[in-house]
Amino acid sequence: MKFLLIGHSVEDHIYVEDKEYVRPGGIYYSAAAFINIISAEDEIYLCSLVDENSYHLFKDVYDGINKKYLKWTKNIPRINLIIHPEKEREEHYHNLASPLKIDEIEFDIFDGVLINMITGFEINPGDLSYIRNNFRGKIYFDVHSLSRELNNELKRVFRPIKNFEHWAENIDLLQANESEILTLSSKTSEAQIVKDILSFRPVAVILTKDTNGAMAYCKTENGIDSFYAQPVKIKEKNKVGCGDIFGAVFFYTYIKTKNFEKALTSANKAGGFAASMSNLSELRNLKKYVFE
C-alpha cells in the first residue's frame, strides 16, 4: 500500500522546566510512526518543506521515505514549545511557513492520505477540495494548529474555526484533542459537536483525551457508535508528538483492517508509548509494542 503524508516540518525548541531540547518536529512524528510500523510492501510519501540548516534533525526518518514531494526552502518554522505539567503547552513561532504545493501530486496512486495541520497553514479549504476531487480513498485530517490563530506576538491562541463545514465536507476521518474540538462548532458539548461533524462527510471523529484515554465516534446506518480506550499506564516522560504518533497508527491500522475499534486500541497504545519515550530512537520499538 502507498500512503501520502501532508504537513509542515518544524524545528522544535522544547522548554521543560529550565532545560531546552532541540528536536525535529511537526509531520516528522507522523512519518516516524509510519516507517516504524509499516510492512515491507508498503511505501510512504511525504509532502513537506525542509531546509539545509536543520535537515540533519530529520534525516534518519526522511531518508527512509519517498521524497518525490519533499521540497527545499530557505527556513522551516522554528517553534518554541513551553511545556506545562497540568495545562496546554504554549507555542511561539519563528519563520512562518509557506503553504504546501499539492497541484503536482498524483493522488490516485495512494491508498490513504493523512493531513496533519501542524502549523495550520499547510493547505486551505480550496486545496482540500482539490485533493478530494482527485482522490477516491480515505482522507485522515488532524485539526492540530488549525484550531489556533497566530496573534501579533506570534503566539498560538485557540479560537473558533470559521466555516469549518467547508473543511468537514471533504474529510473522512477527523482527529482532535479536547481543546481543539471546541473550535469546530458553536456547540459546547462534546456529543453535540461530534453530531455536527458527522452530519457532513466524516465517518469518524477521533478524540484524544491526554491522560484520560481516547474516544472514537463512528457514523453507522443506525446513528453513532462510540468506542473508548482507557489510558495506558506508563511513566510519562514526553508530551510532544504523542497525538501525531497516535494518528498515524490509527489511520494505518484502519486502512489495513477497516476496524475502528482495533484502530483505536492500537493508536491508544502508540500514544501511551510515545508519552513514555525518553528519546526518539525508542520509536524503533513502536511496532513491537503496539502490534506484538
Confidence band of 91 (pLDDT split at 50, 70, 90): confident
Q: Is the pLDDT of residue 136 over 90?
A: yes
Identify which of 80, 95, 170 has the alpha carbon closest to the alpha carbon of residue 130. Answer: 170
Q: Which residues is 72 bridged to in the sheet?
A: 50
Specify the residue for cell string 522551516: 76
Confidence band of 164 (pLDDT split at 50, 70, 90): very high
Confidence band of 31 (pLDDT split at 50, 70, 90): very high
Contacts of 178 (CB under 8 A, 6+ apart): 190, 207, 208, 209, 210
The three cell numbers locating residue 141: 485530517
Helix (H, G, I), strand (E, B) or coil at 232: coil
Mean pLDDT of the chain: 96
pLDDT at 85: 73
Task: Summarize pLDDT for 48-81 with one digit per residue, the tens.
Answer: 999 999 999 999 999 999 999 999 999 999 999 9
Question: DSSP readout, 82-130?
Answer: E--SSSPPEEEEESPPPPPP-TT--GGG-SEEEEE-SSS-S--HHHHHH
Distance of alpha carbon 28 from alpha carbon 11, whole angstroms? 10
CB count within 10 Å of CB 174 equals 28
Distances (CA, A) of 149 to 49, 81, 93, 153, 164: 21, 16, 11, 11, 14
- Please state the domain extents for the chain: 2-291
Contacts of 16 (CB under 8 A, 6+ apart): 83
Superfamily, domain 2-291? Ribokinase (3.40.1190.20)
Residues 249, 266 contacting (CB under 8 angstroms): yes
pLDDT at 18: 83
pLDDT at 90: 86
Residue 154: phi and psi, rounded to 5, are 60, 35
pTM (2 d.p.)? 0.96
Residues 182, 192 contacting (CB under 8 angstroms): no
Distance of alpha carbon 201 from alpha carbon 159, whole angstroms? 23
